[in-house]
Structure 1
Amino acid sequence: MTARPRLVRSIPFWILLAGSLASIAVGAWLVVDKLTIMNTTLLDGTATGVEVYGGQSLITVGAALIGAGLVGLVATLFLGVLKSFVPAAPVEVVEPIDWTAEEPAAVEPAEPVVAEPVAAEPVVEAEPVVDEAAPATR
């Protein structure tokens, strides 16, 4: 058993992988959907400015989402490769407890330890400071 959890049990790893796949899927859907709409409306002659110019910008957004998802997938694969190169920490082997052995008797100190009494210093009350330059208030 290793001291560190495996990469498969790492929640941030799975969030990165799922987020990357979701980003690729949404980006691909945007690109394919808007390209299909643009092609059909341009070929029919019924294209409007919203479908043509808005479709171009949404295709650009979809391409950016695909790119971000691919970067996330590469990062996920890179983390997997790096994790395989990191050696696992050695596990300390502990001997099993012998429950049949009797407990040793409690060891009492040879001489009782007594602390020396400490004398406390007397408390001196300070007199209030009066500022004579300040005007008196009533």
Structure 2
Amino acid sequence: MPYLLLVLLSLAAIGVGGWLSTRQIGAMTSALLDGTATGVEVYAGQSWVVLGAVVLGAGVVGLLLALALAAAKALVPQSPPEVVEAIDRSAEQEAPAADEADDAEVDDERPMAVDSPDEPVGAASAR
């Protein structure tokens, strides 16, 4: 998914940068040839052309990076997936029942009253 996103965004950047640059170059050229060019058209147009070229260049770099990633992935050997046997869960379902029985036996062996550290020894049995 990230690889596909890199390719798509790179193509979009190439398209937007190319459109921005060619539109401004066309507008500047026609205004200069007609003799109606103003400072705003010429100087602002140059800034837009530079911005479009930067976006276009970023798209080309992204596309080259995607190509390099694809080539690197093709060079890395892929190991075949391992076949794993199915796990028998029936033995695991029977085991907790035996553990619960052991816990019940341990609970029966615990003393009912416990002396607290503040009371003298044997005070719990006098209650």
TM-score w.r.t. length of structure 2: 0.69
Structure 1 counterpart of 2:70, from 51, 63, 80: 80
Quick one: percent identity of the two aligned structures?
44
Question: What is the match of residue 117 of structure 1?
Answer: 110
- Name stretches of at least 5 consecutive residues in structure 1 with no aligned partner: 1-10, 98-102, 125-138
Distance 1:79 1:49 in 2: 45
- Name stretches of at least 5 consecutive residues in structure 2 with no aligned partner: 119-127
- What is the RMSD of the two structures over their aligned residues, measured on CA atoms? 2.9
The answer to which structure, 1 or 2, has the higher relative contact order (CA under 8 A, 6+ apart) is 1
Is the aligned partner of 1:91 residue 2:99? no
More helix by share: 2
Distance 1:31 1:65 in 2: 10
Structure 2 counterpart of 1:64, from 39, 46, 54: 54
Distance 1:65 1:120 in 2: 78
What whole-Å deviation, never above 9, does each CA across 1:54-108 have from its counterpart, x for those lacking one? 00000000110111001100110011111112232442223579xxxxx89x799
Q: 1:56 to 1:123 in 2, by over 3 A?
A: farther
Counterpart residue type for residue 117 of structure 1:
R
TM-score w.r.t. length of structure 1: 0.64
